[in-house]
């Protein structure tokens, strides 16, 4: 059975692939528009589901409250860059610069979640919670 960490990592991998692909696009192309739309949806849906089904039980514990609050702040920082990208024409040189900023913030965030947060959470959550949260996260994602 899938646990919450595998479910979250699936989306992280998708985010990484889309950002890599986007950094190789140029100008106002169909590919750039299409991948950007996919990335935005992935980032936003993931952050909401992650906060609801992963951060939420962890914000209640002294061990994990700081990591949770930090993670939520990073989700906001990522949203801010997305909003700037939305306001920037696809063929502007500033677009690629912003995409690099996004890449930087997202890869830092994912690394911190996977290497630090998931380790601490692995101890704070029961095995049953890990699978039931994965189920809820996936139901929400596929709705
Ligand atoms: Fe995540
Ligand atoms: Fe996150």
At 87-123, the pLDDT tens digits run 999 999 999 999 999 999 999 999 999 999 999 999 9
Candidates 35, 46, 38, 36; CA nearest to 12 is 46
**How close is the Cα of 109 to the center of ligand 2, in Å?**
6
Q: CA 130 to CA 107: how far, in whole Å? A: 24
Q: Does the structure show a pLDDT above 90 at 1?
A: no
> Which ligand neighbours the alpha carbon of 15 most closely?
1
Q: Which pTM value belongs to this model?
A: 0.94
For the CA of 8, the nearest ligand:
1
- The pLDDT tens digits of the residues spanning 48-97 come to 999 999 999 999 999 999 999 999 999 999 999 999 999 999 999 999 99
CA of 29 to the centre of ligand 1 (A): 28
141 pLDDT exceeds 90?
Answer: no
Centre of ligand 1 from the C-alpha of residue 129, in Å: 17
The dihedrals phi and psi of 59, each to the nearest 5 degrees, come to: -75, -15
What CATH number matches the domain at 4-141, 1.10.150.120, 1.10.4080.10, 1.10.1840.10, 1.20.120.520? 1.20.120.520
């Amino acid at each position: 059975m899938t646990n919450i960490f595998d479910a979250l990592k699936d989306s992280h991998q998708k985010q990484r692939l889309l950002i890599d692909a986007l950094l190789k696009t140029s100008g106002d192309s169909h590919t750039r528009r299409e991948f950007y739309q996919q990335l935005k949806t992935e980032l936003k849906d993931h952050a909401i589901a992650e906060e609801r089904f992963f951060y939420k039980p962890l914000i209640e514990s002294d061990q994990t409250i700081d990591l949770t609050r930090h993670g939520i702040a990073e989700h906001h920082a990522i949203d801010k860059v997305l909003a700037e990208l939305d306001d920037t024409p696809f063929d502007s040189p500033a677009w690629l610069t912003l995409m690099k900023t996004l890449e930087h913030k997202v890869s830092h965030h994912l690394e911190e979640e996977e290497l630090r947060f998931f380790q601490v959470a692995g101890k704070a959550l029961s095995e049953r919670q890990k699978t039931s949260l994965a189920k809820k996260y996936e139901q929400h994602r596929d709705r």
